[in-house]
Structure 1
Amino acid sequence: MRLHSSKDQASLTPALALSFLKEGNQRFVENLKAHSNLLEQVNETKANQFPFAIILSCIDSRTSAELIFDQGLGDIFSTRIAGNVLNDDIIGSMEFACKLAGSKLIVVLGHSNCGAIKGACHGTELGHLTALLSKVQTSIDTVIHDHPTADLKDQSTIDQVSFENVIFTLDHILERSTVLKEMFEQGEIGLVGAFYKVETGEVDFVKELFTL
């Protein structure tokens, strides 16, 4: 959804911003891409940008948010880190996107068949990756608590951890940012948890937080 001015951006509600993403994913699944003229988008956005959402997703090469939601240059902020985990720098990026740049929606996007989550489930330790994967442990513990016989080597269990990791991450954003919490309470932004299926291209929107 191309926004051409700060006035356009300010007129959006968080719910409307979410509808743009839902419609975009539907186009993606149906192979009806609306954003194909990239050079035109370069020219349109060379002076400024008015993104309507910031999306936290995994670095997985199959999970580019711009493609999954059929968005063009200047439409969304894309924040990517293995396992779509949360840290202070990412929270700062969300604060920039929403408070300073006017975005209306924060999305945490996990996905099936995630290598980072698989590594966490398997206890992988490797340099700085060890500390990153440790952020997934609470989600692993939740799945094991709810399903004591679950096998962390099984892909279905790994995908369940990925799902729980989305909810865990989403639920801690407002706890860790007074800036975003205040914006949320005033109805200026919404938060959404979503899960991308790499097998089909579909996104399930699993948790939607809006202030009425």
Structure 2
Amino acid sequence: MKTLNKELQSKLSISEVKQILVDGNKRFVNGESAERNLLQQVNETSTGQFPHTVVLGCIDSRVTAEQIFDLGIGDIFKARVAGNIVNEDILGSMEYGCKVAGSKLIVVLGHTSCGAVTSACKGVELGNITTLLSKMKPSVQKVEKEVEDVTTTESIQKVVIENIHNSMAEIRNNSEILAEMEKNGEIEIIGAYYDVADGKVQFI
């Protein structure tokens, strides 16, 4: 697999970048990961980086973006925070990744059995975790209107999906740079949902 450079990155269309992720996840699920010389990629990226995607994911140890999309060193930017929520620092990082470094795609990556979302559904309050979980309340409250018990496994998964959509909306509403880039067709902001049981990613 070729290491991304500026020329290769610039030639990629948004649809091609999406296909890279789709194909990579298929290889991952099938146990057919592409052969890579990671040390060579270290050397080739030592003078610059040109990732095609920015991934906002959860800190969950089972959800490692490079592995589940079968990617190499220098392919993506990653921001990881419990519950894949959005804040100013993450927005600034995304703006750098897209406006400055040329990434074409932003993926908000949620997952099944998310501890942060589960805690938000159960109303957990503990130190700084309380503030973090409060960012998921809009998603919890929306699902609460549709179900009797928001703490069931099925309801929690609905909140996970809603939380992905909420984070996508937060990006568009709170970053003029990224919203304008998407409007101009320079980038696309999409959601994805990883199943920790089978390794498959669904794009939403």
Q: What range is the shorter-chain TM-score in?
A: over 0.9
Aligned counterparts of 2:115 and 2:35: Cα–Cα separation in 1? 29
Deviation sequence 1:53-82 (CA, Å, 0-9, x none): 000000000001011100111000011000
Q: What amino acid sits opposite 2:89 in the alignment?
A: D
Give structure 1 regions of 4+ aligned residues with deviation exceeding 3 angstroms: 1-4
Aligned counterparts of 1:17 and 1:194: Cα–Cα separation in 2? 14
Deviation sequence 1:5-25 (CA, Å, 0-9, x none): 212111111111111101100
| 1:65 is the counterpart of 2:65 | yes
Report the Cα offset of residue 42 of structure 1.
1.0
**Aligned-partner SS, 1:56:** strand
Aligned counterparts of 2:192 and 2:118: Cα–Cα separation in 1? 19
| 1:21 is the counterpart of 2:15 | no
Give 1:192-207 correspondences, 5 Å limit: 192-206=190-204
Identity of aligned residues (%): 48
Q: What amino acid sits opposite 2:180 in the alignment?
A: E
Q: Does the 8 Å CA contact 1:122/1:153 hold for their aligned counterparts?
A: yes
- Number of residue-to-residue matches in the alignment: 204
Name which of structure 1's ranges 137-146 and 37-46 shifts more when overlaid on structure 2. 37-46
Report the Cα offset of residue 155 of structure 1.
1.4
Of residues 147, 152, 155 in structure 1, which corresponds to 2:153? Answer: 155
Q: What amino acid sits opposite 1:126 in the alignment?
A: L
Unaligned runs of 5+ in 2: none
Aligned counterparts of 2:34 and 2:174: Cα–Cα separation in 1? 36
Deviation sequence 1:68-116 (CA, Å, 0-9, x none): 1001110000110000001011000000000000000000000000001
Scaled by the length of structure 2, the TM-score of the pair is 0.96
Change (3 A) 1:55 1:35: farther
**Aligned-partner SS, 1:198:** coil
Unaligned runs of 5+ in 1: 207-212
**Aligned-partner SS, 2:127:** coil
Report the Cα offset of residue 37 of structure 1.
2.6
Aligned counterparts of 1:74 and 1:35: Cα–Cα separation in 2? 15
